[in-house]
Chain A
Amino acid sequence: MSENKLEEDHILSADVINSVKDWNTDYSDDAQFADTVKDYKSSIVKKFIFIAFFLVVIVVVTSIAITVGAVNIGFFEVYEIIWQHLTGNIVSDYDYIVFEMRLPRVVAGIIAGAGLAICGVIMQSVLKNPLADPYTTGVSSGASFGAVIAMTLGFTAAFGSNSLVILAFAFSLVPTMVIAMMSRFSNASPTTVIMAGIGIMYIFNAVTTVLMLWADSSALNQIFYWQTGSLALIKGWESIPVMFGVVLFGVVISMFISGKLNVLATGDDSAKALGINADRMRLLCLVLTGIVSAAVVSYTGLIGFVGLVTPHIVRMFIGADNRYLVPASAIFGAALMIVADVIGRVIIYPSALPVGVVMSFIGGPIFLWMVIRRNSSAW
């Protein structure tokens, strides 16, 4: 009966009737459809190749990073020593140098790079803003305040460097909490969140500035160093577990929600109509990125650039589909961080430049070049 329902309608033309009937037919054996599927699948393969390539970069650069230092250790020797250590068969004299002195810094770089990169992806995606980064909601100003308290009011002297990490972490969570509470009274639209973040940042920065005015010059040096961010702040393996746990948690969760991020990217109304409560989703993402970036910066200081720029670079290569953008950015961010750190350590050897400075100085021009060169409109 539904066969001729369309023909019975005197308004419809034959063309439209055929198009709509075509829409209902089985296309699984259609040659042109097969081509479209093939194209689609090969675009996914390209994304996996991108991820695989930068995984290899991480493995190679890890070894290069460990060879840098006063004691000369060969490139392949590094893998040998790590392998021996992991299998419990320690024979090399350099085991301590590789495993206790140099490896933690590289591992911390990988974790921090991956963590800040996924925070950047999520922030830009949920705030629909290409200028958003892990610090947009004020995480950096909170962390900075905590760290400055620790360094100026003598906590680090009294309770050791852990107190700095704990204070920085505690205060870096404050801006996110304030925004979450504010959203109960207004809303959690991207504009509200960004404006609230700016407001909170100014308040924290004002108090931090006052503390710095009272600080002595050695404390000021320390503060400046911390605010630039550096992997040299990593104090061996003891710095790793918490940061690793939180970032791993962040990566896993963001992989799970990456499909939802795509839906949210189509607009709040459209997301709600597809069954996602846009405001609540955005808040959950802010809390997630708040915790992950807090865990990173409280150990490494305020490392910039990687969280802002990684998502853009990766988008230029593999597109804006968050299901692939999230893992690819984590890998790329990790690679970028350790590459920049190695460069920073060799470029003015035996002195070293902080990783954030290197990334900005070398990465900035490359990024500008990419912005000019890009042919597809990723934004």
Chain B
Amino acid sequence: MVDIEIHDVDFGYDESHIVLHNINLEIHEPGLYCIIGPNGVGKSTMVKCVSKIISPLKGQVILDGQDVAEMTHKDVAFKVGFVPAFSQDAFSMSVINTILVGRYNHQKWGSRQKDLEMVYKTMKLMHIENLANRSYNALSAGQHQKVSIARGLVQETEVLILDEPTANLDVKYQVYVMEMLRAIAIEKNMVIMTICHDLNITSKYAHQVIMLARPGKIHAVGKPEDVLTVENIREVYGINCRVYTDEETKKPYVILGSAIMGMAEDY
């Protein structure tokens, strides 16, 4: 498995508008890492720094002792897979070809049997094998999401980052996808990082929760029961809540109360 270290990272689209402030994070254990926090807090920005889609203004991202800034996009691509938030392709290919793109680093011109097998198994895992020859743009939003997740999974990287994988999914598949990602992380010794908005799903499935707060800093990192507290949720989201411990899973269960206007607002 890949060690990830983020040291003193600042990121901004220009000097006057800094999105991330002094981010420090170390990941040395495989598992499902859920990143939570309010809108515009830099969740996507942080994970994009890890996969070298953008480069930090200051600080370092280190994968397995190697500075990402000194690695090529291709080197990073072998270690870190990335599934972006929903996007519609301008010209859509069939589902099977769309997922095959995820095998880009494994295949040469023409697609070998092994790539097709991996794609097929992953389509089965996502329950979309009957969509194989449909055009990607003809699918529903939820089906898109499943195809995107499949495209990420077939990359077979040791780190997989998913930007809101459960957006657009109905509750059944939100639960299924998160549970599946947890199982894959355990089974394959992977680090899987997802950005997530549902606190209770995060609580149930995350091994570790990374909580970001405005203006782009890490507020808390740890097990769900340590991070998802009444105080943290109020400070970070500006909302009152009650937190119980679920009898069956022994995980915190959050019941949202009222929003506190004027607290933790976007600015």
Interface set of A (CB-CB < 8 Å, partner B): 2, 5-6, 9-13, 16-17, 19-25, 27-28, 32-33, 36-37, 39-40, 43, 124-125, 128-130, 259-260, 262-263, 265-267, 269-270, 272-277, 315, 319-321, 323, 376-379
Which of the 9-residue segments B121-129, B209-217, B228-236 touches chain A? B121-129
Instruction: Establish whether residues A23 and B122, one from each chain, have CB atoms under 8 Å apart when the complex forms.
Output: yes
Instruction: Establish whether residues A273 and B80, one from each chain, have CB atoms under 8 Å apart when the complex forms.
Output: yes
Instruction: Establish whether residues A128 and B90, one from each chain, have CB atoms under 8 Å apart when the complex forms.
Output: yes
Instruction: Establish whether residues B94 and A43, one from each chain, have CB atoms under 8 Å apart when the complex forms.
Output: yes
A33 to B113 alpha-carbon distance, docked (Å): 10
What are 8 A-B pairs at a CB distance below 8 A?
Answer: A11-B182, A16-B176, A22-B125, A23-B122, A124-B91, A263-B104, A323-B110, A377-B92
Instruction: Establish whether residues A274 and B105, one from each chain, have CB atoms under 8 Å apart when the complex forms.
Output: yes
Interface set of B (CB-CB < 8 Å, partner A): 48, 51-53, 72-78, 80-84, 87, 89-94, 96-98, 101-102, 104-105, 107, 109-111, 113, 116-117, 120-122, 124-125, 129, 132-133, 135, 137-138, 151, 155, 176, 179-180, 182-184, 186-187, 204-205, 249
What number of A-B contacts does a CB cutoff of 8 Å give?
168
Chain B positions within 8 Å of A39 at CB level: 132-133
Instruction: Establish whether residues A273 and B81, one from each chain, have CB atoms under 8 Å apart when the complex forms.
Output: yes
A265-B89 contact given A20-B183, A273-B82, CB 8 Å threshold: yes
Instruction: Establish whether residues B90 and A130, one from each chain, have CB atoms under 8 Å apart when the complex forms.
Output: yes
Instruction: Establish whether residues B92 and A378, one from each chain, have CB atoms under 8 Å apart when the complex forms.
Output: yes
Chain B positions within 8 Å of A275 at CB level: 72-78, 104-105
Instruction: Establish whether residues B84 and A270, one from each chain, have CB atoms under 8 Å apart when the complex forms.
Output: yes
Instruction: Establish whether residues A12 and B73, one from each chain, have CB atoms under 8 Å apart when the complex forms.
Output: no
Chain A positions within 8 Å of B117 at CB level: 27-28, 33
Instruction: Establish whether residues B91 and A379, one from each chain, have CB atoms under 8 Å apart when the complex forms.
Output: yes
Instruction: Establish whether residues A28 and B113, one from each chain, have CB atoms under 8 Å apart when the complex forms.
Output: yes
Instruction: Establish whether residues A377 and B138, one from each chain, have CB atoms under 8 Å apart when the complex forms.
Output: yes
Chain A positions within 8 Å of B135 at CB level: 319, 376-378
A23 to B182 alpha-carbon distance, docked (Å): 14
Chain A positions within 8 Å of B77 at CB level: 273-275
Instruction: Establish whether residues B186 and A272, one from each chain, have CB atoms under 8 Å apart when the complex forms.
Output: no
A10-B249 contact given A265-B90, A379-B91, CB 8 Å threshold: yes
Instruction: Establish whether residues B186 and A36, one from each chain, have CB atoms under 8 Å apart when the complex forms.
Output: no
Which residue on A lies nearest to B103, using beta carbons? A274
Instruction: Establish whether residues B116 and A24, one from each chain, have CB atoms under 8 Å apart when the complex forms.
Output: no
Instruction: Establish whether residues A33 and B51, one from each chain, have CB atoms under 8 Å apart when the complex forms.
Output: no
Instruction: Establish whether residues B132 and A376, one from each chain, have CB atoms under 8 Å apart when the complex forms.
Output: no
A378 to B135 alpha-carbon distance, docked (Å): 7
Chain A positions within 8 Å of B74 at CB level: 275
Instruction: Establish whether residues A27 and B52, one from each chain, have CB atoms under 8 Å apart when the complex forms.
Output: no
A118 to B84 alpha-carbon distance, docked (Å): 29
Looking at B76, B94, B204, B249, the one whose CB has the most chain A CB atoms below 10 A away is B94
Instruction: Establish whether residues B82 and A270, one from each chain, have CB atoms under 8 Å apart when the complex forms.
Output: yes
Instruction: Establish whether residues B179 and A11, one from each chain, have CB atoms under 8 Å apart when the complex forms.
Output: yes
Which residue on B lies nearest to A312, using beta carbons? B91
A20 to B180 alpha-carbon distance, docked (Å): 7
Instruction: Establish whether residues A12 and B97, one from each chain, have CB atoms under 8 Å apart when the complex forms.
Output: no
Instruction: Establish whether residues A12 and B120, one from each chain, have CB atoms under 8 Å apart when the complex forms.
Output: no
Instruction: Establish whether residues A2 and B187, one from each chain, have CB atoms under 8 Å apart when the complex forms.
Output: yes
Looking at A37, A266, A378, the one whose CB has the most chain B CB atoms below 10 A away is A266
Chain B positions within 8 Å of A125 at CB level: 91
One of A13, A21, A270, A315 near B179 (C-beta < 8 A) = A13
State how many angstroms separate the Cβ of A324 from the closest Cβ of chain B. Answer: 10
A262-B93 contact given A267-B87, A273-B80, A275-B105, CB 8 Å threshold: yes
A112 to B179 alpha-carbon distance, docked (Å): 55
A272-B87 contact given A13-B179, A37-B113, CB 8 Å threshold: no
Instruction: Establish whether residues A9 and B186, one from each chain, have CB atoms under 8 Å apart when the complex forms.
Output: yes
